[in-house]
Amino acid sequence: MYKIMTPGPTQVLEKVRMARSLACTNPDLDTAFFDFYKDTCMLISSLLHTKNETLILDGEGILGLEAACASLTEPGDKVLVLDNGIFGKGFADFVRLYGGNAEVYHADYEHTLSVDALADYLKLHHDYKYATVVHCDTPSGILNDVQQICPLLKQYGILTVVDSVSAMFGEPIDVDAFQIDILCGGSQKAVSAPPGLTFVTISEAAKEAMKNRSTPIASFYANLMAFENYYEKKWFPYTMPISDIYGLRAAIDEIANDTDMLHRHKIIADATRSTLIAAGLKLHQKSGFSNTVTVFDIPQGITAAQILESMKAKHQIMLAGSFDDFLGKVIRIGHMGTNATISNMVDTLYALDDVLRSLGVPLNVQLDQYFLKTVRASS
């Protein structure tokens, strides 16, 4: 068994695993399950600082992104796709699949999206039904300022779809203050439940847009309107994965009780980044650092595979490489959710120090010790 220090999936607490093994009822017929489902959704909404409805869907994070696009897009609709990372760019595929006209606003992949540049662009181009933006684009670890970006889009009446699958609960989110119309989350990142569930939080404006469509939503499974009045009707569009949802609830309860969660993510992320810099390693990003993941460039003369394999073989710790544009170029440490503890990071950095030195990479500091000293000074 590896200690998984990847940017999702993350480590799953025993409490969450045990909740998944509770006795099952028939989730289509037992009204107690409708109450449980609705309560869990309302708890998620409240943790995201909104009364907007949350729906838990039976599919991994990607389903939430697709469901947002499927439900909003009508053939010919103009959609602004904010692209400064792999997931950012990927939204264009969903928009096009449902007949939308995706306009990709491309910005470089090493910086957080410039709000000023976007504001200038929007002055001349703002005839969009909705826009998509990724909060933390995990393959490169870039964090976008959705707190500024979404209200800017809303000034032009553009609905906002935010993928916060890998940032939510590790970075601050306030759906109402940030003016997010559809927010997408997933079970396997900072939430720290196993993969398999996504949840979407939907504003009244987004629901209106779905109701006012002149063409039907071209999907059943990805149709958010299929859940309309499920509670009153005691009718789910498909049988809910009850054990997955029991596990998710246990993970969400942990988050609800963890008053230090955001602060812990911040001090751990800050200390991890300063440690790597002090050691002479190079962070991949130039700006926009997410508190959920640290991404660094592969040092000269060695490969990503050597680092990853050695971490597993010598220390039973799994880190992640990356893919697409970043394949073979970076290593990612996922310090989100249950991964984000000082002891997990000390173990990980101790192992990384050993692995890098044995591959001949000179380091200016002892990684785990420097981290511990830094994090203690800030907590």
Ligand X SMILES: *Cc1c(COP(=O)(O)O)cnc(C)c1O
Contacting positions for ligand X (CB under 6 A): 8, 60-62, 87, 134, 137-138, 163, 165-166, 186, 189
- 49 in Cβ contact with 202 (< 8 Å): no
Cα dist. 227→25, 65, 212, 239, 266 in Å? 20, 16, 16, 12, 36
CB of 51 to ligand X, least distance (A): 25
Cβ closest to ligand X, residue 94 vs residue 105: 94
Q: How many CA atoms lie within 13 A of 194 on its CB side?
A: 15
The candidate with the shortest Cα–Cα distance to 184, out of 200, 195, 169, is 200
Cβ closest to ligand X, residue 166 vs residue 374: 166
- 111 in Cβ contact with 171 (< 8 Å): no
Q: Which two tokens stand for residue 143?
A: 């964090």
| Packed helices 367-378 and 261-279: angle between N→C axes, nearest 10 degrees | 140
CB of 62 to ligand X, least distance (A): 5
The candidate with the shortest Cα–Cα distance to 197, out of 63, 70, 87, is 63
Q: Provide the 3-class DSSP secondary structure of residue 165.
A: coil
* Distant-in-sequence, close-in-space partners of 303: CB < 8 Å, separation ≥ 6: 328
- 192 in Cβ contact with 50 (< 8 Å): no
Q: CB 223: neighbour CB atoms within 10 A?
A: 17
Cβ closest to ligand X, residue 94 vs residue 370: 94
Cβ closest to ligand X, residue 64 vs residue 299: 64
- 251 in Cβ contact with 328 (< 8 Å): no
- 11 in Cβ contact with 338 (< 8 Å): yes
Cβ closest to ligand X, residue 202 vs residue 361: 202
**DSSP labels for 263-287?**
HHHHHHHHHHHHHHHHHT--BS-SS
CB of 376 to ligand X, least distance (A): 30
Cβ closest to ligand X, residue 33 vs residue 178: 178
CB of 302 to ligand X, least distance (A): 26
Residue of minimal CB distance from ligand X? 61
CB of 363 to ligand X, least distance (A): 29
CB of 200 to ligand X, least distance (A): 12
Cβ closest to ligand X, residue 94 vs residue 371: 94
CB of 378 to ligand X, least distance (A): 26
Cβ closest to ligand X, residue 27 vs residue 170: 170
CB of 194 to ligand X, least distance (A): 12
CB of 135 to ligand X, least distance (A): 7
User: Torsions phi, psi of 185, nearest 5?
Assistant: -130, 170
Cβ closest to ligand X, residue 132 vs residue 374: 132
CB of 166 to ligand X, least distance (A): 3
User: Torsions phi, psi of 162, nearest 5?
Assistant: -120, 125
The candidate with the shortest Cα–Cα distance to 167, out of 291, 255, 50, 345, is 291
Q: Which two tokens stand for residue 163?
A: 């993928």
Cβ closest to ligand X, residue 79 vs residue 165: 165
